[in-house]
Amino acid sequence: MDDLPPALLIDILSRLTDSSDLARCRVASKTLNALSDDVRSINLVCSMSGYLKSRSPETKALVTPFKAVFKDLVLRSRHLESVSIGVDKSLGGISFDDVEDESDDLYLTDFNFMKEWLPRVSGELKSLFISDFWVQSCWRRSEALTLISSSCHSLLKLVVKNAWLSVDGLNPMPMLTSLTLEFVRLDDEYLNKISSCFPNLTELNLIGVGGLKEPKIDLLHLRTCEWSVSNAPLHLMIHAPNLVHFQLKCIKPRFIVLEAPALSSFSLSLESTDELKLKDCYSLEYLQLESFNLDSLLAMFRGCETVKRLTVDSFRRNEQVKVTRFGLDTLFDSFPKISYLNLGPGAWHEMETSFCKGGLEDMIGMKTLRELIAHLVVSDIESTLAFIFSILGKCTKLSDVSLLIHRDVDSCVAGNLISRCRSNFPRVRWRWGIWKEGTKDTWVSDGV
């Protein structure tokens, strides 16, 4: 490798997925040792085996502390553009009962630790990723965000996981366009600091962020957002005129206000809400809904004519269906122009049960449906077939049907269902597959 051009060697060293290999390269070759100072990326992860060795009395003295290894790598680098430091996901399974002391050897958002290295490399830094060790960080309030905002003036992307973050003294970061906070306790009850100090975010991910009271996202340039909210906030407000893709997962907020005129794709998962206000959402084409009370939620979208592609599911798949009338007619009341429909197993179960109680109404809106995907649990094949045939009888333009049958359904029952569907509706392009909870759908045929 010593014969390769220096620029190529630097590029190779910068692409190492584990920068502990970079330390080994420095020992292996004088050339690599010299060029390693010019790497553009550092990525160091503390593994479970490394953690256990650092705690074992037999090996503790032989292990170089994780923070010391990281600081040596970072402080020798002259042109860093990306820094990633964290603990392996497997360490997330360690509980407080497994830790007998109050160590901070893996407390990575520690202000004093970060102050030793971050200002030295912040000049050219574009991306920063920190995944802390929750057992050591959750009870220690960190001012890491303040240090980052005062040092990293060129930072474009920031990811922080498993930490308790203060926003005291947070400075504006107009260059930052992507922010991810995951399993973070954030001292910003209303998200005022996030909105004011990061005004040019185009991507925002708030996954399991605690400490919120009545949060409001107010970002003019935001285009993509994923927000997973705990059960504490009762009011959620989003004002984002350029938001295009939005995933919102919450529990029981009293009301949600969404003002996003450019929104094209919206995924909403919640148990229930008293009120959902969509302000000026005239561009919405793809919608995904998941709820305990689908019929109530769908009523809040009544007359939403812009939606063409719809995916729905219900959490109530293993409970007795309480609704007396929930079928395709309910969906088309809210979305009269959908051409694509994907029904999860809970939604299909509710609709099939409701169908058995009253059949389908002949609605004009059903004529727009062209493609259907459904996840089935076949308890009574005759009821399931009757429901499928009724849908195809009412939806005259429906030409593509994909049925995913639960893996535990008897193969003879599944084969009988498939055979009768083909013979009764040969005009339809059928596609078959298998689904099961917690696994990826498996397709058996690609259309017949």
| Tens digit of each residue's pLDDT (9 = 90 or more) over 408-437 | 999 999 999 999 999 999 999 999 999 999
Average the pLDDT over each of 89-103, 128-142, 200-214, 327-341 and give the range with the smallest value: 89-103
* pLDDT value for 321: 47
Answer whether residue 227 shows pLDDT above 90.
yes
* pLDDT value for 5: 58
Average the pLDDT over each of 42-56, 135-149, 233-247 and give the range with the smallest value: 42-56
pLDDT category of residue 45 using cuts at 50, 70 and 90: very high
The mean pLDDT of the chain is: 87
| Tens digit of each residue's pLDDT (9 = 90 or more) over 270-309 | 999 999 998 887 889 999 999 988 888 888 888 788 999 9
Answer whether residue 325 shows pLDDT above 90.
no
* pLDDT value for 280: 80
* pLDDT value for 10: 54
Answer whether residue 108 shows pLDDT above 90.
yes
Answer whether residue 310 shows pLDDT above 80.
yes
Answer whether residue 35 shows pLDDT above 60.
no
* pLDDT value for 409: 93
3-state SS, the chain, equals CCCCCHHHHHHHHHCCCCCHHHHHHHHHCHHHHHHHHHCCEEEEEECHHHHHHHHCCCCHHHCCCHHHHHHHHHHCCCCCCEEEEEECHHHHHCCHHHCCCCCCCCCCCCHHHHHHHHHHHHHHCCEEEEECCHHHHCCCEECHHHHHHHHCCCCCEEEEEEEEECCCCCCCCCCCCEEEEEEEEECCCCCHHHHHHCCCCCEEEEECCECCCCCEEECCCCCEEEEECCCCCCEEEEECCCCCEEEEECCCCCEEEEECCCCCEEEEEECCCCEEEEECCCCCCEEEEEECCHHHHHHCCCCCCCCCEEEEEECHHHCCCCCCCCCHHHHHHHCCCCCEEEECHHHHHHHHHHHHHHCCCCCHHHHHCCEEEEEECCCCHHHHHHHHHHHHHHCCCCCEEEEEEECCCCHHHHHHHHHHHHHHCCCCEEEEEEECCCCCCEECCCCC
Q: Please state the length of the chain.
A: 448
Between 111 and 50, the more confident residue is 111
Answer whether residue 39 shows pLDDT above 60.
yes
Answer whether residue 192 shows pLDDT above 60.
yes
| Tens digit of each residue's pLDDT (9 = 90 or more) over 148-174 | 999 999 999 999 999 999 999 999 999
| Tens digit of each residue's pLDDT (9 = 90 or more) over 353-403 | 888 877 665 555 578 899 999 999 898 999 999 999 989 988 889 999 999
* pLDDT value for 320: 54
